[in-house]
Amino acid sequence: MSRYDPATTEAKWQTAWDKEGVFTARHDPAKPKYYVLEMFPYPSGRIHMGHVRNYTMGDVVARQKAASGFSVLHPMGWDAFGMPAENAAMERGGHPKDWTYGNIADMRAQMKPLGLSIDWSREFATCDPEYYGQQQAMFIDMLNAGLVYRKSAMVNWDPVDMTVLANEQVIDGKGWRSNAPVERRELTQWFFKITDYADELLSALDGLKDWPEKVRLMQANWIGKSRGLEVPFQRTDGAAPIVCYTTRPDTMRGASFIAISPDHPIAKALEADRPDLAAFLAECRRMDTTEAAMEKAEKLGIDTGLAVRHPVFKGQTLPVWIGNFVLMDYGTGAVFGCPAHDQRDLDFARKYGLPVIDAFHMPGNDTPVSNEALVPLKSEPVQYIDHFAGLGLTTGQDGIEKTIDWFAAQGLGTAQTRFRLRDWGISRQRYWGCPIPVVHCDACGVVPESKANLPVRLPDDVTFDIPGNPLDRHPTWRDCTCPKCGAAARRETDTMDTFVDSSWYYARFTAPHATTPTDLAEAEYWMNVDQYIGGVEHAILHLLYSRFFARAMQKTGHLPAKASEPFNALFTQGMVTHEIYQSRDKAGRPVYHLPEDVLRFNLMNEPVAFLRTDHATDLAEMTEDQLAALRLEAASTPIEIIPSAKMSKSKKNVVDPMNIIAAYGADTARWFVMSDSPPERDVEWTSSGAEAAAKHLARVWRIADEISRDATPANLGDTELQRATARTIADVTQGIEGFAFNKSVAALYALTNTLSKSTAGAVAKRAAMKTMAQLLQPMVPHLAEEIWAMLDGVGLVSQAAWPVADPALLVDDTVTLPIQINGKRRAEISVPKDMPAAQVEKLVLADEDVIRFLAGQPVRKLIVVPGRIVNVVI
RNA sequence: GCCCGCGUGGUGGAACGGUAGACACUGGGGACUUAAAAUCCCUUGCCUCCGGGCGUGCCGGUUCGAUUCCGGCCGCGGGCACCA
A568, with CB counted inside 10 A (0-12, 13-18, 19+), is middle
Closest nucleotide C1' to the C-alpha of A297: B82
For residues A378 and A251, give the distance between their C-alpha atoms in angstroms, rounded to a whole number: 12
Does the pLDDT at position A174 exceed 80? no
Neighbours of A405 (CB within 10 A): 15
Give mean pLDDT, residues A225-239: 93
Q: By percentage, how much of chain A surpasses pLDDT 70? A: 95
Radius of gyration of chain A, Cα coordinates, nearest whole angstrom: 34
Give mean pLDDT, residues A671-700: 94
To the nearest 10°, report the CA torsion of A298, A304, A305, A308.
-100
| Eight-class DSSP state of A244 | E
- Integer distance in angstroms from CA A609 to C1' B28? 21
Give mean pLDDT, residues A734-745: 96
CB-CB contact of A655 with A647 (8 Å): yes
How far apart, in Å, do the first and last CA atoms of chain A sit? 64
Determine the length of chain A.
874
- Integer distance in angstroms from CA A292 to C1' B74? 28
pLDDT-derived band at A619 (thresholds 50, 70, 90) equals: low
Q: Quick check: ipTM above 0.85? A: yes
Closest nucleotide C1' to the C-alpha of A675: B24
Give mean pLDDT, residues A225-245: 93
Question: Would you state the pLDDT for residue A638?
Answer: 67
- Integer distance in angstroms from CA A630 to C1' B54? 36
CB-CB contact of A250 with A390 (8 Å): no
Cβ neighbours for A146, distance < 8 A, ≥ 6 positions apart: A193
For residues A114 and A74, give the distance between their C-alpha atoms in angstroms, rounded to a whole number: 14
Closest nucleotide C1' to the C-alpha of A335: B84
- Integer distance in angstroms from CA A214 to C1' B64? 37
- Integer distance in angstroms from CA A758 to C1' B28? 28
Nearest one of A410, A412, A388 to A400, comparing CA atoms? A388
| 3-state SS assignment for residue A812 | coil
**DSSP-H helix ranges across A758-806:** 762-776, 781-790
CB-CB contact of A62 with A72 (8 Å): yes
**DSSP-H helix ranges across A390-519:** 396-410, 470-473, 498-501, 505-508
Q: Which of A153-167, A269-283, A664-678 bottoms out in mean pLDDT, i.e. has the lowest?
A: A153-167
CA distance readout (Å), A530 to A157, A210, A211, A275, A570: 41, 10, 11, 61, 8
CB-CB contact of A10 with A663 (8 Å): no
For residues A59 and A781, give the distance between their C-alpha atoms in angstroms, rounded to a whole number: 10
- Beta bridge partners of residue A578, listed in sequence order: A645, A685
Q: Which residue is nearest to nucleotide B52 (CA to C1')?
A: A826
Closest nucleotide C1' to the C-alpha of A869: B18
Does the pLDDT at position A655 exceed 80? yes
Give mean pLDDT, residues A292-297: 55
Question: pTM higher than 0.80 for the full model?
Answer: yes
Q: Which nucleotides of B are covered by protein (CB under 7 A)?
A: 3-5, 10-16, 18-20, 22-28, 36-41, 53-54, 64-66, 78-84
The count of C-alpha atoms lying within 13 angstroms of the C-alpha of A869, restricted to the half-sphere facing its C-beta, is: 9
